[in-house]
Structure 1
Amino acid sequence: MQKKMMILGASALQIPAIKKAKELGFQIILVDYDENAPGFPLADVKLVVSTLDQEEVYRQALIYQPDVVITSTSDGPVRTAAYVNEKLGKKPDLSYGDSLCATIKSHMRDRLKENGVPIPAYYAIHDFGELKKAVSELNGYCIVKPADNAGSRGVVLVDFRDCSGQAADSEKEAVGLIKIDDEKLREIYEYSKSNSRNGIVMAEEFMTGAEVSVESMTVNGETTIVTITDKFITPPPYFVELGHSQPSILPGEVKEAIRKVTLQAVKAIRLQNGPSHTEIKVTESGPKIVEIAARLGGDFITSKLVPLSTGVDMVGSSVLLAAGEKTDLSARWEKGSAIRFIPGIPGRIRSIAVEEDIHALEGLEEFVLYKKAGDEINGTKSSNDRLGHVIASGKTAGEALDIAGKALEFIHIDMEKE
């Protein structure tokens, strides 16, 4: 009898996993709230259901009886997959309780702290009063972000430091030379809270230093670090990823410290089998965890960049692992790969033009545009606001980045600015 795999999410980033599961002979049951999701044409069974609706996904699983339920690159469905697999009596690669620590930042911070993993100072915020107090404790300079979301949605830098050296306003709460603007802080709170699925907001110490992600795979409790990815982020107040490159160009001793902290974090969330994507800031006091996710890295990091830079098929390995098959995580080569995203500028797109010469650019692997003429753009406040991307490969990460940068010069977006 043909085995069945239920895959939560049918977005473009999920398609590589869907294709791999089909190659392995699985009947594919696809779940997504968007009836026009690009992965649905590959489905044997199409279910227009929210991947976050645990009870409805479980009800559908009782009907279709999949052998396993997985997701690929999305955070929220990690919880749903863990919940449904447990309810179906499947062996948990990540228990439902542990999945909360890999998807909800307040749970994540608590678990990492309990296990002595280096993290920033943090507060879980349930109302505006708690946020105001936390901002004071963090000296008016911190990150505010949703406890339950991804893709830089709702992430804002709070900076109420008074650089003038003058005393703080008596009408406003003051800590040292900090003046907290209640109206501005409330606006930030409402913005971040509106992006939090569970309504909880985090206030965290602002960490400075290089940012990386670590792409790993755990098999029977043993974790293999496949590669470390350098990340390029928009400046404050929003922190949107505009590029990634592999392998990391950080010094060897720094990368070794990053590996050590990553292994601590994976062990802390008790992942037994499956991929993980760990984001880390290299601070003056050493690497600290930004977030850890029990899934593959998005932004085409694992589906495109990892195969180009290492020859390792992490997407295929994750599907094989879910199917109970053996995986091969050994690198076949060490090359460079990079992705650059096109940031959004507030306004309406008047026109988009791509020069023909882009097709002759050696090392350019692909370019994709997400928007079209007439679309309204809200700046770059989250990953959803990016206009497109280019992916390049080279002998080194630097060469790949250079090629990606040249490719962007061939893409011309004319905006009607606000």
Structure 2
Amino acid sequence: MSTVKTVAFVEPSFYGVSFAKVAYEQGHRVISIVSSEDNPKKYGYEGIYHDLIVADIRDEDSLFQAIAESPYAGKLDALIPATDYASHLTAKVAERLGLRSVPYEAALKSRNKDLARQAYAEHGVPSAEFRNVKTFEEAAAAAEEIGYPVVLKPTNCASSQNVYFINDEAELRRAMDVIVAFKVTYMDFKVREEYLIEQYLQGPEFSVELFLRNGEPLFAAVTEKLTTPLPYFVETLHTLPSPSHTDRQEEIIRTAVDALKAIGLTNGPSHVEVKLTPSGPRIIEVNGRPGGDHISSDLLVLAFGVDIFEATVNYYLGHPVAIGKKHIRAATIAYVTAERDGVLERIEGFELLPQHPSVIRAHILAVPGDNVVQAKSSDDRLAYFIVASDTPQEAKRLALSLLDGLKVVYRNQEAEIA
């Protein structure tokens, strides 16, 4: 019997590129289901697939029909969501094809933050007090009930897009004007016209990287996160494993597992964001997929020798899943952000990073002449670098020290006009 399987990925992008890469390197036949033939170039997975199927990935029937009319009808061994936005649709299509998948309802709840919050409340999982709102009037009433400061966010977006820290009604009115005008997110997925007003949770932030089998963790690790100063929530530093609050790690993991069970995610990979508040761990959000931001593709590999993408491909194929830690080290990814709006000239000192013995990779996302802004979402970050070390404390210290040595230099626009 051939060990080469046919594995289809729905729109590999961001974290999903690592999925395609792993399956390709395992020797499987990799099919990418995409909304445009330009996407492999756009998202960086040229050369790591064998065939493309074009479909409207925002529509379940279009996805199903595109597969049914392709040479792979009845021949797929796995159908894997490789972008957050299509995860619930992929689950539905996989169910129709009789392939292993995340339950549709669970995928839907992990995509829609309000449905997830309702599930946590029903199952007694500690999260944030919240209200669903559509208008400024509803938002103002909800904020009064919950008590300022509050957080305003879309129900079905990612990357901290239009997530606001709100101190008072005037700020709420301005933010609602922006969020109501925000109609389309990545890959032309529609932004739901329902929003969340949430209690602002105080405390340090973590994510839990998990792989569950029948509701029990085969693998669990806690990542410490640092974010930009309020009013925004852009992640600027991830350290794995966490260098802080290690005595609370089991409690943080248990809360994350309870949240996953509450929404029905009991098998496969997940990335759960948690705040350690004075009253204990509370859930920010759950993602039924490996962590992005190079947490899964780089930090887990560097820290523990764990490839969660390989484990996930094997899980979807029904193969044995091996996901034990091969070694114990530590890694940090640091992101460079602009402290003000302007035109980028250069990031001074960045060119020296690759020569540092602990720097694994340094990559610039913005180029000279780009208009840059104070970071409001993950899309606004300018560059990143990854360091590895023997301990998480050392990895974090080194990353912060190197970050401190960088300077964002802005182009003198008056001189440019002259």
TM-score (norm 2): 0.88
Structure 1 equivalent of residue 364 of structure 2:
369
- 1:156 and 2:158 correspond: no
Identity %: 27
Match 1:46 to one of 29, 52, 56 = 52
CA distance in 1, matches of 2:350, 2:373: 26
Q: CA deviation at 1:219?
A: 2.2
Q: CA deviation at 1:236?
A: 1.3
Structure 2 equivalent of residue 168 of structure 1:
none
CA distance in 2, matches of 1:157, 1:220: 37
Structure 2 equivalent of residue 141 of structure 1:
149
CA distance in 2, matches of 1:353, 1:252: 35
TM-score (norm 1): 0.88
Deviations 1:218-258 (CA, angstroms, capped at 9, x unpaired)? 12443234210000111111111011001112334411211
Q: Is the contact made by 1:18 and 1:28 (CA closer than 8 Å) also made in structure 2? A: yes
SS at match of 2:300: helix
- 1:31 and 2:21 correspond: no
Deviations 1:7-44 (CA, angstroms, capped at 9, x unpaired)? 12333532322121112332111133451331133221
Distance of aligned partners of 1:286 and 1:417 in 2 relative to their CA distance in 1, 3 Å threshold: farther
Distance of aligned partners of 1:410 and 1:56 in 2 relative to their CA distance in 1, 3 Å threshold: farther
Structure 2 equivalent of residue 75 of structure 1:
84
Q: Is the contact made by 2:12 and 2:19 (CA closer than 8 Å) also made in structure 1? A: no
Q: CA deviation at 1:417?
A: 7.3
Q: Which blocks of at least 5 consecutive residues in structure 2 are unaligned? A: 414-418
CA distance in 2, matches of 1:257, 1:385: 33
Distance of aligned partners of 1:377 and 1:51 in 2 relative to their CA distance in 1, 3 Å threshold: farther
CA distance in 1, matches of 2:227, 2:23: 33
Structure 2 equivalent of residue 59 of structure 1:
65
Aligned length: 398
CA distance in 2, matches of 1:148, 1:209: 24
Q: Is the contact made by 1:31 and 1:50 (CA closer than 8 Å) also made in structure 2? A: no
RMSD: 2.3
Structure 2 residue identity aligned to 1:60: A
Distance of aligned partners of 1:403 and 1:119 in 2 relative to their CA distance in 1, 3 Å threshold: same
CA distance in 1, matches of 2:46, 2:14: 10
Q: Is the contact made by 1:122 and 1:204 (CA closer than 8 Å) also made in structure 2? A: yes
Q: CA deviation at 1:375?
A: 1.3
- 1:234 and 2:223 correspond: no
Structure 1 equivalent of residue 22 of structure 2:
20
Structure 2 residue identity aligned to 1:6: A
Q: CA deviation at 1:319?
A: 1.3
Structure 1 equivalent of residue 416 of structure 2:
none
Q: CA deviation at 1:194?
A: 6.2
Structure 1 residue identity aligned to 2:369: G
Distance of aligned partners of 1:412 and 1:249 in 2 relative to their CA distance in 1, 3 Å threshold: closer
Q: CA deviation at 1:378?
A: 2.9
Q: Is the contact made by 1:348 and 1:375 (CA closer than 8 Å) also made in structure 2? A: yes
Q: Is the contact made by 2:15 and 2:290 (CA closer than 8 Å) also made in structure 1? A: no
Structure 2 equivalent of residue 167 of structure 1:
none
Q: CA deviation at 1:97?
A: 1.5
Structure 2 residue identity aligned to 1:58: F
CA distance in 1, matches of 2:229, 2:201: 13
Structure 1 equivalent of residue 276 of structure 2:
282
Q: Is the contact made by 1:17 and 1:315 (CA closer than 8 Å) also made in structure 2? A: yes
Distance of aligned partners of 1:255 and 1:272 in 2 relative to their CA distance in 1, 3 Å threshold: closer
Q: Which blocks of at least 5 consecutive residues in structure 1 are unaligned? A: 161-178
Q: Is the contact made by 1:146 and 1:193 (CA closer than 8 Å) also made in structure 2? A: no
Deviations 1:373-405 (CA, angstroms, capped at 9, x unpaired)? 121123211101101100000011121123323
Distance of aligned partners of 1:361 and 1:392 in 2 relative to their CA distance in 1, 3 Å threshold: same
CA distance in 1, matches of 2:273, 2:194: 21
Distance of aligned partners of 1:39 and 1:282 in 2 relative to their CA distance in 1, 3 Å threshold: same
